[in-house]
Each structure stands twice: as structure tokens, then as C-alpha cells.
């Protein structure tokens, strides 16, 4: 398959991770273009990338525009048929693109979720994301042996796991990432818009990258919790979840999550960010969830278990 590939890495600090990520990309067996879109890093990311990796295209921002905007800017610089959004804490195996690109063989495939594994190389970190009826996202197959990466359940809806691939024509038709969702939730929103346009998402379990999850954002950092809560409130309203039969379950779930977070963190970020995100979507047109977008087999108790499992 003769599809060209752009690898877009959005960075904000974390040069040592970025360097390691770029070194692994240098070992890939399929030709590709690398674009680093940097959000005002002060740790030498720009200077070091320019001197050590002169073939990498750079997009520089004087201030941090947020992940979604910086990523859109990086994607816009390229022209590859396939766009791979790669976290700087994700390290591709040499044959990664050999297995990823053929997954776009069906012209209706708009997005592909590869397999990311934990540092041990044998445990699944993610094979994309699943959504329950309240639009809550869950990391698919996390913690399972890598041999289980081709499992059909839970239902794959979106890439998401540090290495997310898109067909450029699908990306452009859908409009890329919503820049209001600056850090979390943008991948889910894009996946729903792609599905609404008739594009499908598939897994490529033989395309493998090691992902050091939360090495960039920090596990349960205030920034991560605030961004996640804001996105949750925004998406609930934007995609009309409270106008569906899942409304009561969604409200109960969010109340339980917010109260638990307050008890663990001793602050009200979870609640305040959800209210803020809900308010931000107030003037936007409501969107209807496309058919097949949620996994109805993920029940209420299971959704709570998955939400508090390994993040």
C-alpha cells in the first residue's frame, strides 16, 4: 500500500521523552515524515530537536495553545495520507508502520487504533477506547496480556492510547480536533463526528508501541483532573446525553465520581470543571449520537469498575 505517513508529536516540556520517541522513529522500516508541534517548551525541546534531528519539521508556539490546537497546527503542516498522532511517551517498534498502514486498506476506514503496551512489553496499555451509554470513555483491554489485543469486546469506538492514526481525508472532512477540548476528550469527539460521517474505526493489534502512560501529563495531576472534568461536562451536553434514556445513569455516575474525587483530592476541581464544561457547550448546537457509537454491554457497575481501574 502506497500511503504516505505523517507522524505528529505534540510537545510541552519533556525533552528526554521526546528525544527517546524520535530515536525510535528513526528505526522505523517504512518511510515517513515527522512533525513536532511544540507548545512553548522551556527545556530546550526546539533547540535540541533542530540540532539533533534536523529532518524533523518544527511548529513553534510562543505560548501553550492547548493540545488540540497545537496538534491541529502540526497536522496542517503535513500532507501525508495517514496521520499518526504520537505521544512523546510512546515508543514505536521498528515494524510499527508496516502493520499500521495496511489497516487503512478499506476506503471507509477513517481511524485506526494500534496496540500500545506497558513498559514490560507484554501487558496491554490500550487498544483504543470504548464508550458506555453515558459517553464515559474506557481504555480497551488495559491490563490484559498482549495476546488478547485482537478481542472484539468492548466495542472499539476511537483510537486513544498514545498512538492514534487517522486517514487525512477523514480528518479534514470532520474538521480535526475541537480546540475547545484542549487536553482531554478531543479524540472521543472526533471519533463520534467521524462515525456520523460514515467513517469506521478499526484496530491494528500487530502495530505495537510501548506507552509510558501519564509520563507527560502526570497521573491525577490537578491539570489532568480539571481538563478531564471539563471535557466530561462539555461532551455530555454537546452530544445530548441527558436527552437519552441514559440521562439518570449519567447524572448518578458523575455525582459519584465527583464526590469520590473530592474525598481523594480534598478539592472541588472535579465538580467545578464539569459545571464549567457544561456551561461552555450551552450555545452550541446539540449533536445526536451516531448508531453503534456506544457499547451497551458495559453496565453501570462495570462502568464504575473500569473508570477506577488503571488509568
Report the chain's mean pLDDT, rounded to a whole number: 94
- The fold of 5-211 is Spore Coat Polysaccharide Biosynthesis Protein SpsA; Chain A (3.90.550)
Task: Find the mean pLDDT for residues 190-210.
Answer: 98
Nearest-angstrom CA–CA distance, 198 and 27: 35
Q: Where are the domains of the chain?
A: 5-211, 222-307
Which tens digits make up the pLDDT trace of 41-64?
999 999 999 999 999 999 999 999
C-alpha span between 244 and 50 (Å, rounded): 50
* Residue corresponding to grid cell 530546550: 44
pLDDT (0 to 100) of residue 23: 98
CB 65 within 8 A of CB 39: yes
> pLDDT by residue (tens digit) across 266-299?
999 999 999 999 999 999 999 999 999 999 999 9
Cell numbers that stand for 138 in this block: 474506557
Q: How confident is the model at residue 310 (pLDDT cuts 50, 70, 90)?
A: very low
Average pLDDT (181-204) is 96
Question: How far apart are alpha carbons 177 and 182 in whole angstroms?
Answer: 9
Residue range 82-111: average pLDDT? 98
Residue 262 has pLDDT above 50, yes or no: yes
For 39-53, 122-136, 202-216, 254-268, which range has the lowest pLDDT when averaged over its residues?
Answer: 202-216
Amino acid at each position: 500500500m502506497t500511503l504516505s505517513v505523517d507522524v505528529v508529536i505534540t510537545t510541552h516540556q519533556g525533552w528526554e521523552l521526546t528525544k527517546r520517541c524520535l530515536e525510535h522513529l528513526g528505526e522505523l522500516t517504512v518511510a515517513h515524515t515527522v512533525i513536532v508541534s511544540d507548545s512553548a517548551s522551556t527545556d530546550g525541546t526546539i533547540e535540541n530537536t533542530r540540532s539533533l534531528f534536523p529532518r524533523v519539521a518544527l511548529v513553534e508556539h510562543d505560548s501553550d495553545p492547548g493540545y488540540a490546537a497545537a496538534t491541529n497546527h502540526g497536522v496542517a503542516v503535513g500532507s501525508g495520507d495517514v496521520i499518526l498522532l504520537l505521544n512523546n511517551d510512546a515508543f514505536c517498534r521498528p515494524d510499527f508502520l508496516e502493520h499500521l498502514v495496511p489497516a487503512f486498506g478499506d476506503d471507509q476506514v477513517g481511524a485506526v487504533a494500534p496496540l500500545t503496551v506497558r513498559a514490560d512489553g507484554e501487558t496491554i496499555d490500550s487498544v483504543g477506547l470504548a464508550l458506555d451509554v453515558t459517553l464515559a470513555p474506557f481504555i480497551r483491554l488495559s491490563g490484559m496480556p498482549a495476546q488478547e489485543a485482537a478481542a472484539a469486546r468492548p466495542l472499539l469506538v476511537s483510537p486513544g492510547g498514545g498512538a492514534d492514526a487517522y486517514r487525512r481525508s477523514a480528518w479534514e472532512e470532520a474538521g480535526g480536533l475541537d480546540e475547545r477540548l484542549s487536553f482531554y476528550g478531543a479524540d472521543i469527539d472526533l471519533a463520534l463526528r467521524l462515525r456520523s460521517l460514515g467513517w469506521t474505526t478499526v484496530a491494528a493489534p500487530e502495530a505495537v508501541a510501548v506507552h509510558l502512560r501519564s509520563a507527560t501529563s502526570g497521573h491525577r495531576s490537578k491539570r489532568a483532573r480539571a481538563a478531564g472534568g471539563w471535557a466530561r461536562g462539555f461532551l455530555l451536553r454537546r452530544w445530548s446525553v441527558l436527552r437519552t434514556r441514559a440521562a439518570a445513569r449519567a447524572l448518578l455516575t458523575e455525582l459519584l465520581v465527583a464526590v469520590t474525587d473530592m474525598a481523594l483530592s480534598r478539592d472541588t476541581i472535579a465538580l467545578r470543571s464539569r459545571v464549567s464544561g457544561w456551561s461552555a457547550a450551552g450555545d452550541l448546537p446539540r449533536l445526536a449520537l451516531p448508531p453503534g457509537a456506544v457499547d451497551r454491554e458495559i453496565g453501570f457497575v462495570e462502568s464504575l469498575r473500569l473508570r477506577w481501574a488503571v488509568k
